[in-house]
Chain A
Amino acid sequence: MTALTQTNPAGQLNRYPPGDLAIWIFILAELAVFAIFFATYAFTRMNNVELFNQFQQHLDRDAALINTLALITSSYFVVRAVAAIREGASQICVRWLLAALGMGVLFLAVKSAEYGHHFSAGINLSTNSFYMFYLSLTFFHFMHVIMGMVILAAVALKARRGGYSIEDHTGVETGASYWHMVDLVWLILFPLVYVMH
C-alpha cells in the first residue's frame, strides 16, 4: 500500500493515514465488528420496536450525554497532544494526553455508576433483547475505552521519557487514531441506543 506523503511547513513528513498502518487494519476490523453489531441491533429493533422504545426510557440519557461530552473533549485533547508533538513539545504532549486520560476516567466512572444502577435492579444480559444489546454494545465499547486508555497511557509514558520527536512520533498518531475510533463508535452508539425512537 502506498502512503501519500507531503511535507508541511515545519519540514516534517506527514503521512496519510497518520500512525502505523497496522493500527488501521485493526481499526477497520474493529469498525467492522461494531458495524455488524449496530446493524443487528437495528434489525432486531425493527422487529421489536415497542419493547425497545419502552426499555430505552429506562436508560439514563443525562449520564450518556455527559459521557458523550467527555469523549468528544478527550478527542480534542488528543488532537492537541498530536499537534504538540508535531512541534516537538514532548511535555506539552504529555499534559494533553493526561487530560484526555482524565476524561476517559470520567467516562468509566459515569458508565460504571450506570451499570451499578442496572445490576442492582437485577438487569442482566438475559433480561430481554433490548438489554442484551444495550449491555453488550456498551460493555464492549466500555472495554475499548479501557483499551484506548492503556494505549494512551503507554504513549504518554514514552512521551514523558522523550521517546517521540518532530521526526518520529508515529506512536502518538497511532494511539490517537485508536482513541478517535473509540470516540467515533460512541458517537454512533449514543444516538442509536439512547436517543433514537
Chain B
Amino acid sequence: MNEVFTKSMARNIFYGGSLFFILLFLGLTFDTTRQLPKLDNRQAITDKVALGKALWEENNCIGCHTLLGEGAYFAPELGNIYKRFGNNKAAIKGFIMSRPKDGIPGRRSMPQFNFTDEELDAIAEFLKYSSEINTAGWPPNIQG
C-alpha cells in the first residue's frame, strides 16, 4: 500500500523550502544593499563618526540604551537624541560630562566615563549621524 505521508517527502520539503527561502532572502538582501546608499546617511560617516561608534561600543552604551529601538530598555532611546536635545551637540556633551561619579541616590544614573573633549565630540557626532538615518518615520515622536 502507498504511504500517505512519507518521511522522504517531508524531508524534500524541508530542504527545498529552506533553499527557496534562503535564495529569496539573499535576493532581497541584494536589493537592500543597492538601495542603502539612499537611506543610511553614509555620506555623513567621517573619521570622527567612526571614533564615536568605537567609543559607543567600547563603553557598552547599548547595555542600557536603545539605538534605533535596539538594545536595553533601561535608559532612553538615543537614535533621535540629537534632535531631542534641539540639534545641539554641546548639550549632548554637557550631559555626558556632568554625570556624578557615584550616581544619584535612589535613581538610575549614567556612569561617569571621563571622556576627553575629543571623545565627547566624536560621540556627539556619531549620535548626530545616527539621527539622520532614514528610519521610515520611527520613532513616533521626539520622546523616542
Contact = CB atoms under 8 A, between A and B. Distances in A.
Q: Do chains A and B touch in the complex (CB under 8 A)?
A: yes
Interface in B108-125: none
A67 interface: no
B33 to A, nearest CB: 12
A126 B2 contact: no
B5 A15 contact: no
B23 A124 contact: no
Contacts of B9: 20, 22-23, 174
Q: Which of A1, A22, A26 has the most CB of B within 10 A?
A: A22
B6 interface: yes
A139 B30 CA distance: 14
A143 B19 CA distance: 11
Size category of the B interface is 10 to 19
Contacts of A25: 13
Interface string A1-31: 1010000000001010000111101100000
B50 interface: no
B1 to A, nearest CB: 7
Contacts of B23: 143
Contact of A143 (B1, B3, B5, B20): B20
A174 B31 CA distance: 34
A132 B9 CA distance: 34
B6 A20 contact: yes
A147 interface: yes
- The secondary structure that dominates the A interface is helix
A167 B1 CA distance: 8
A13 B20 contact: no
Interface string A125-167: 1100000000000011001000100110000000000000001
Contacts of B4: 1, 3, 15, 20-21
Given A26-B13, A26-B17, A126-B35, A143 B24 contact: yes
A20 B5 contact: yes
A140 B24 contact: yes
Nearest to B23: A143
B2 A170 contact: yes
Interface in A113-127: 124-126
Contact of A13 (B2, B5, B24): B2
A168 interface: yes
B71 interface: no
Interface of B: 1-6, 9-10, 13, 16-17, 20, 23-24, 27, 31, 34-35, 38
11 contacts: A13-B2, A20-B4, A21-B5, A22-B6, A22-B9, A23-B9, A23-B13, A25-B13, A151-B16, A167-B2, A170-B3
